[in-house]
Amino acid sequence: MIKLHLYIVILTTILLLCTAKSSFAQSSYVLPYPPPMPGNFLYKIRLVSEQIQKYWYFGNFGQFSYSLRQSDKYLVQAKTLFEYKQYLLGDDALKKSDMYFKNSPKYLSYAKEESKNIDRQQKILKEAALKHIEVLNEIKMYVPKEIIWNPENSHPTKIFLSGTLAEAIRIRESCL
């Protein structure tokens, strides 16, 4: 009986080792959970809260944190939407994430002009950029390069996803 147990344990371990894939994160930076998506009633509340928070996060360090947080949220939103093949909405979300990400270093340079030490924030920005690039490369694997989006009651739209993703990666790389 003991031999049988031992045999099962060894076999399971071998099977696990053979099938497991190694996956290492490039950055220890943690992205948030997916926020409420377009179509959800909480999405409108999220947009209002986003506008209010813009004023709550005053100061250059505050604006830096705000921009980075929003960029993170929209990136996660874009990833989720792409996974559900909602390319038009995903493309919009990714562009918003880019816009916020571009703002982050701007506030750091303002803070530097005020003689604030920005070493810690620069480190965070670099880690965030690495994590974003990691996610963007993942998205690149499963989205089409371009797609014609046919909404029900509107004209079709051509979306150049590969271009949007390349631009998003370029923005992040400029912060490394």
The smaller minimum CB distance to another protein, of residues 32 and 163, is found at 32
| Smallest distance from another protein to CB 130, Å | 21
d(CA 140, CA 132): 12
The smaller minimum CB distance to another protein, of residues 65 and 80, is found at 65
Q: Taking CB under 8 A as the criterion, which residues in 85-144 touch another protein?
A: 114, 116-117, 119-121
The smaller minimum CB distance to another protein, of residues 120 and 158, is found at 120
Residue 59 sits in the site that holds another protein (CB under 8 A):
yes
> What is the binding site for another protein (CB under 8 A)?
56-62, 65, 114, 116-117, 119-121
